Amino acid sequence: MKDRRSFLKLGAGAAAAGAMLPFASHASGNGVNWDAEYDMVIVGSGFAGLAAAIEAKRLNCKRVLVIEKMGVYGGNSTLNAGQACFAGTDLQKKLGIEDSAELMVKDQLAAGRGIASKELLMASAEIGPYVYQMTKDCGVRYRDHIITTGGTSATRSHQTEERSGAGFIQPMLKTARKMGVETVIRHKFEHLIRDDNGAVIGIQVRRGYHFGHEDSGELINVRAHKGVLMATGGFGYNVSLRQAQDPTLTAEVGCTNAKGATGDGLIEMLAAGATPVHLSHIQSGPWASPDEGGFGYGAGFSLYNFPHSIAIDRNTGLRFMNEIADRKTRADLELQRRDKDGNPNPALLIAPKHEAQNDPSMEKVLKYNVAWEFDSVEAIAKHFDVPLQPLQQQINDWNDFVAKGEDPQFGKRMDAGRGIKLTAPFIVQRLWPKVHYCQGGIQINPQAQVIAARNGQPIPNLYAAGEVTGGVHGVSRLGGCSTPECLAFGVIAARSIMKA
């Protein structure tokens, strides 16, 4: 029987009979037939992958390759709400917002319930302003308004004008290509290739791959002289894997991720001996709507309106949570909203139209029947079968809380709502969580090196960044904090590879 090293090394016969990438020549070495050779190979074209590619070029890396298994670039990164929590930016200063990397990390550690990595969080937060400026240099356009996300003690979520991750991905991809980064789609990562000393020297790739047809395309070997960065994202769409970690996350539970989020990179790194961390901590988004698929428009609507709106239990007509608590707190409470037979009875987010209309998401949720407009409290109660008197009293109480600047019910930060009262007409959206983010993954150190389970040491020439890594956020990740972490560790990985 071949040992693990022999399997990972692959060998000349695994190179798919002379298959060659169209942009490189064939070479041999280390017992492997190489179909292409680069200084740095990046697997994944989301935030982490593109940030690494751009930083590598800034550091004068000659040949950089980014591969993407799907037919379009960006993966999950294109599907988020286009927000990123940075601390200490010029926009915060312009708006009079006091913030710091230390305060941001303090908030994240609280959400992490004692098992988040302060070391990794600080490494990410400290280069936040650099990453923010990098994205602006690439042409990313931010709104002048910064929003408050759940669990934060300062307003720090910067949003792209497009209100989607595409607002980051498109200009970053364009910049990377302009700098000379080579990018390809429909190239699926299959295996790491290692030398006799265990160092990663390249990857095996399935060129011409089509998602869902696992034997499509042809196998080729790509050399990486300086290092391989795995930026392959999470496994939210791999139902069997996520259910093995959390039995409640069956196929009946929706998911906001792109269908390509199946954990290929994670699985292969585990096979190579990487250390798994916190795989059972899988986060659901409390801003999701059951009335649309995937991430949808409802997420943007909720994210904007949570600070000045209320979430209502349809059985009681009353609030049941702090609408800007951390994600896990809210998602867990939302999942408890049930009818008398135990079936889901999604909560209602009630927002004032006079403020909701200031965000472009309102037009979308109304157009696609994800939310509805009502002229009175009575109309809401009738439509959703909510007890009228408790609902009316709750709204009156809420407006009193706004006037006094204090929430005695759930301790919500009232400054986040900016004194906005809840008055007719109302925009109402249903809330039900969807699987959104995997806190768990493989272990890295602050240099983005992948750590081996056998000895706790870095696996030579193997780096990882983004959702494929674990241990950064702990039990719960704060909203708006995955984008800056992915970007930051992409940059860190590129710096580490270029220093090696």
SS3 41: strand
Task: Give CA 16 to chain center in angstroms.
Answer: 35
| Residue recorded with tokens 């000045």 | 308
In contact, 159 and 147? CB cutoff 8 Å: yes
Catalogue the active-site residues. Answer: 327
In contact, 221 and 193? CB cutoff 8 Å: yes
ω before 425 within 30° of 0 (cis)?
A: yes
The alpha-helical segments, DSSP class H, found in 112-202 are 118-126, 128-138, 166-178
In contact, 131 and 487? CB cutoff 8 Å: yes
Side chain identity at residue 247, one-letter code: P
ω before 171 within 30° of 0 (cis)?
A: no
SS3 8: helix
Task: Name which of 492, 491, 486 is nearest 85 in CA terms.
Answer: 486
405: left (phi over 0), alpha (psi -120 to 50) or beta: left
SS3 380: helix
In contact, 248 and 332? CB cutoff 8 Å: no
Burial class of residue 94 (count of CB atoms within 10 Å of its CB; 0-12, 13-18, 19+): exposed
Task: Name which of 423, 453, 254, 298 is nearest 354 in CA terms.
Answer: 423
Sign of CA dihedral 93, 47, 141, 291: negative
What is the C-alpha separation between 138 and 174, in angstroms, rounded? 8
Task: Give CA 13 to chain center in angstroms.
Answer: 38
Task: Name which of 476, 419, 113 is nearest 285 in CA terms.
Answer: 476
What is the C-alpha separation between 77 and 74, in angstroms, rounded? 5
**Backbone phi, psi, residue 268, to 5°:** -70, -35
What is the C-alpha separation between 7 and 14, in angstroms, rounded? 10
Q: Give, in degrees to the nearest 5, the angle at Cα 303 between 302 and 309.
A: 60
What is the C-alpha separation between 140 and 133, in angstroms, rounded? 9
